[in-house]
Amino acid sequence: MAGLEIPTWDPETALLIGTILLEAVLLYVGYGGLERLFGPRLMAFIVGGEENAR
Amino acid sequence: MLDSVLDGLGILGTSPEMLALFVGFGLVVGVLFGFFGMGGSFLVTPALLMLDYPAPVAVGSGMAFVFGTAVIATLKHHDLGQVDYKLGAIMITGTTIGIEVGRASVYYLESLGLAGALISVAYVVLLGGVGAMVTRDARRGDGSGDIDHEAADKDLSEYEIPEIAKTIQQTVRIPPMVTLRGDVRVSAWVITAVAFATGLLSGFLGVGGGFIRMPAMIYAIGVPVPVAVGTDLFEIVFSGGLGSYLYGQGGGVDLGIVVPLLFGSALGARIGSAATAVVDADGIKVYFGGMLLVGATAVGIGEVGSYIGSPTLEMVGLVLVIGAAVVVAVAILYTSVVSLRTTRKQQAVTAD
């Protein structure tokens, strides 16, 4: 049976996981910013139809 | 320059069609996760298995996706003060050991050529079981075992501890005892046992385990619902990160899958989360249960197709898994828009 492993330091894998972590943080901040910028206008468009958006 | 960065991330190895599929699927999974607080991620691994990815890649990439999603959700719950860091820290040990045992099992079964089939069977049982339970509760109008969207607005001291949790707290008093948020006092061993069992499932199936861990935290440990949700996500950041690292060392994490899935799901989760403010979850829950049951059937059909060598059956399974998730996500969005427009009309009439 494949034995249980103690994680060993592997820079390549650390970079891989770091990339996912960085993407997650960037998406949280980025989508949050977009929501603040365009959220109210988008809601007006969806809820009230095109007339309200204008 | 951009090409070399993307190539280094393994994204250029994925065709544009697959990237678009993963972004779209991520969006759907995100809407489900944002709305129900669970249940999106465990559609990813079966879908990848049906797309003929090897089991370690399907499970490893599914886990890396869960890790990224948990990071985003934890940031939000931290802002709301709904994370019990002491409980999370205790759970990390049990979950880590559980995940490692589950992960080792996957590689062992893979060496025997049984991993894909057994993981699919486990999914059929799990999705079918949870799906049947949710559907039954939804038809009875019973909201138990689910996230109460109004719960976030209540004070933690207002929560009643479930009877079964009270019994466990009174009978299992093996030291060390710990006090958690909401004045819950429980043995650290109960917490560790819950963490190990759910970690085992996470490692074996590549899922966050939240759909089992959250009810377990509420009913076995007795923590208030919002704290269970926030702490579960915090814990998944570590367990998912470690699991992804271990799978990544074995070549099991494909950024060409994870990056586009996360890109779509982060947006979908915001939409799904916003929808909880305007849609009654009980009305949608029956669809959610139905989706899990269809997912279980789809994985079964896909596995039979793979066993008898029928690409048509495998395709039917894949279309059913993705189709069921899309239908529920669209139902949430449609109901939200209708509800918002109705509210606005009523406000306009009142103002007149």
pLDDT of B151 above 60: no
Quote ipTM for the complex: 0.82
Least confident among A16-20, B82-86, B167-171: B167-171
Give the Cα separation of B222 and B185 in Å (integer): 9
pLDDT of B163 above 60: yes
Q: Which pLDDT band holds residue B309 (cuts at 50, 70, 90)?
A: confident
pLDDT of A54 above 80: no
Please check whether residue A19 lies inside any domain of the structure: no
Looking at the complex, does the CB of residue B112 fall below 8 Å from at least one CB of chain A?
A: no
Amino acid at the residue B9: L
Q: How many structural domains comprise chain A?
A: 1
Predicted local confidence at residue B182, as pLDDT: 72
* Residue range B9-35: mean pLDDT, rounded: 82
Q: Which pLDDT band holds residue A33 (cuts at 50, 70, 90)?
A: very high
Are the Cβ atoms of B266 and A31 closer than 8 angstroms? yes
Predicted local confidence at residue B207, as pLDDT: 66
Looking at the complex, does the CB of residue A11 fall below 8 Å from at least one CB of chain B?
A: no
Please check whether residue A33 lies inside any domain of the structure: yes
Are the Cβ atoms of B75 and A28 closer than 8 angstroms? yes
Looking at the complex, does the CB of residue B11 fall below 8 Å from at least one CB of chain A?
A: no
Please check whether residue A39 lies inside any domain of the structure: yes
Of B246, B248, B340, the CB nearest to A5: B246
Of A3, A7, A27, the CB nearest to B266: A27
pLDDT of B129 above 70: yes
Higher pLDDT, B245 or B51: B245
Domain that holds residue A46: 27-54
What would the pLDDT profile of B292-304 be if each residue is shown by its tens digit? 778 778 877 877 8
Chain B closest-CA separation from residue A54 CA (Å): 17
pLDDT of B267 above 70: yes
Looking at the complex, does the CB of residue A38 fall below 8 Å from at least one CB of chain B?
A: no
Q: Which pLDDT band holds residue A49 (cuts at 50, 70, 90)?
A: low
Please check whether residue A1 lies inside any domain of the structure: no
How far is the first Cα of chain B from the last one, in angstroms, to the nearest whole number? 59
Predicted local confidence at residue B26, as pLDDT: 92
> Contacts for B160-167 with beta carbons within 8 Å, 24 or more apart?
B161/B222, B162/B218, B162/B219, B162/B222, B164/B219, B164/B220, B165/B218, B165/B219, B165/B220, B165/B221, B165/B222, B166/B222
Chain B closest-CA separation from residue A23 CA (Å): 8
Least confident among A38-42, B20-24, B162-166: B162-166
Looking at the complex, does the CB of residue A2 fall below 8 Å from at least one CB of chain B?
A: yes
